[in-house]
Amino acid sequence: MIANTLPLLTWRWLKVNESLIELPEVKDQVNEIVANEGEKVEAMFDISELAQEAQASRHTKINIIAKKNSTVDIYYIARCLEEEKTLTDIMADVEEGATVNLIQVEAGAKNTVTNYVANLKGKQSKTNVEAVYFANESKSLDIFYHIKQMGIETESNILVNGALKDKARKTFKGTIDFKRGSMGSKGSEEEFATLLDDDVRSIAVPVLLCEEDDVEGVHAASAGKIDQDILFYIMSRGLDIEEAKKMIVQTKLAPTIDKLPTEELRNSVWEHIESRI
């Protein structure tokens, strides 16, 4: 199966134009979420164990319709280490004055492909994405966000923080797409990767596409090892190197994890990540 295809293809040798994933004998799990006019809807997806003992691959679909002046809050947490391959498709149609917020935590399967496509159709429609990821051993992670800003004065914000350890690899592809007719719209995307070992691989492809004049778009991406001066400073206060690394990673991931709806869930997610750093 081909997933996460970039809307504007780049050089083939980069191997980021699309992601290939095989999902044999896996049935789609489709979730429909509709927020009627003026309504506020909240949905939680917490994948912490296999749905079926013999099924280690998963394809989940989440379709969202946010009608006029509604708000949809989606919490998506994937932390099942037993899953071999997962593909998650999230699609949102956002009407006038509506907002879709996505809080996403990716810290599970050996091979993860995940994407979020938002169609900001109505005037002053909006989407906010905050995501964190952690991958260790030889796990691979392919993240794709594609925001299509169609209406007047739409707004999108993407903020992603993550950490890679051992021989893990990650590809981040974020596209903010200003369509014709999206005058007065704004879009922002940022992705920051912390590299805990020399053998990890981090690729970031932030893209801005524009068919309109009166719009504002910004993007940024960075990847780097932990600052040795900061590490030394923390260790000078009595922590060993592993404890110091955990503290630094926590400072980067915690702001998003802290937005999960319950303290029990926040603590559980952080313990799951901390045990693998």
187-to-58, 139, 157, 208, 276 alpha-carbon distances in Å: 31, 31, 6, 9, 34
CA distance 6 to 146: 9
pLDDT at 46 over 80: yes
What confidence score (pLDDT) does residue 249 get? Answer: 87
How many residues in the chain? 277
pTM for this structure? Answer: 0.93
Structure-token pair, residue 178:
């200003």
More confident residue, 117 or 52: 117
Q: Is the pLDDT of residue 199 over 70?
A: yes
60, amino acid identity: T
Q: What is the DSSP letter of 52?
A: B
Contacts 24+ apart (CB under 8 A), 216-219: 216/185, 216/186, 216/187, 217/176, 217/178, 217/186, 217/187, 217/188, 218/187, 218/188, 218/189, 219/174, 219/176, 219/188, 219/189, 219/190
Lowest pLDDT segment from 88-92, 99-103, 153-157, 231-235: 231-235
Q: What is the pLDDT of residue 236?
A: 83
For 114-166, the pLDDT digits (tens) are 999 999 999 999 999 999 999 999 999 999 999 999 999 999 999 999 999 99
Structure tokens at 168: 């893990």
Predicted confidence (pLDDT) per residue in 250-275, tens digit:
888 999 999 999 999 999 999 999 88
Q: How far is CA 159 from CA 41, 162, 179, 237, in A?
A: 22, 10, 21, 31
In angstroms, the CA 170 to CA 134 distance is 9
